Structure 1
């Protein structure tokens, strides 16, 4: 049983003090949550006080809107649509289904689905609570296409959660320096592309996307903590896909 396994687990010592193996396991996740929440609160304070990072919001959008071209607008519209509320859930659902069928494991795909739901719920709640208006219509490529509130960016938190969590879950199975670097680079590229697309198209402010990335980092921390706890606890994760045994002949 899980409780018996935890009770028998050796207790590591930190600075000569015996520490619970569960605490050691979840500590990296807790640290990521703290960093993410701290970053979000810093950005939120700037938005509320309209200082610091918030001073970049309007100038950046004006600068980008003055440099739009037909090709770049088409490309970044495709990027933003791929990580929108219609396409992204389909990608995640199909990807996780294939993941379960191929890997014969439910835990990692389940954690990814849970992370996406958590990030979406957090985004919706904060949008409603802060109720920050979108940028002015003249800064948008298609005025009025976005009707929800602006803070934080839902597209960005979705993209960041997807690449951070899926990358971590894959890397945790094969922990090498090369894979870690590839995960980090892929995360930076994808998140930057989605964030820039939201700014370029005029649908979000700089602080919206920064807040979204911070929240995604906190969600990653939750996943890391749960994932490492499940490993310490020895929770079974295999999926039984074998057909039922034939009935015994009389």
Structure 2
């Protein structure tokens, strides 16, 4: 298979686990040079060992900090001289709470990572992107339909879609595309249903037409497509990766 991204630099946040990890490995297999960040450097280092043959830049970054993000983007430019594609994957998965039981701290944690993090990374990268570059941002099926006891998480994921569609309009005239993936029930270590196990996992499996959980690799395949030439006329699109979701209040992603 041709290495479609042989001369491309791909920046990935939340690269240390789950969908970010799978996308890192996928893009490495397609020849990309990688700028990888995660709040957990040990996880990031382990992912790096899975793709030893491609040029990489690693750093532990809290995407809610504009200073840390700006430093990471600048150091990426220092190393590679450019950024071609950006995958905004860093995020915090929900814990189910009635709204009256949530706290300001919980609000800040989700909003600052899931939404402000996308803003920080996008704003920092834009000056370095050229015609043909693109963003892929992670929303969720909970950014398309509501989920009981996940009001704050849903708010962040709905907002990612709105933010991304605006960026598609702002950046499209420059030849820079922005698209969104909305994963459903994906088998990742931080999925609340996976953590609960047992009946929660079975409910997720039964919550879509395919009767199983998705894998991070199946999301990574879509991300690679959205970065690639085959999706060159896709801009502002929301791609649901959910196996044919049924109406449910079960936790997502």
TM score, norm. by length of structure 1: 0.27
Which structure is higher in strand share? Answer: 2
TM score, norm. by length of structure 2: 0.27
Which fold has the larger relative contact order, with Cα–Cα distance below 8 Å and residues 6 or more apart in sequence?
1
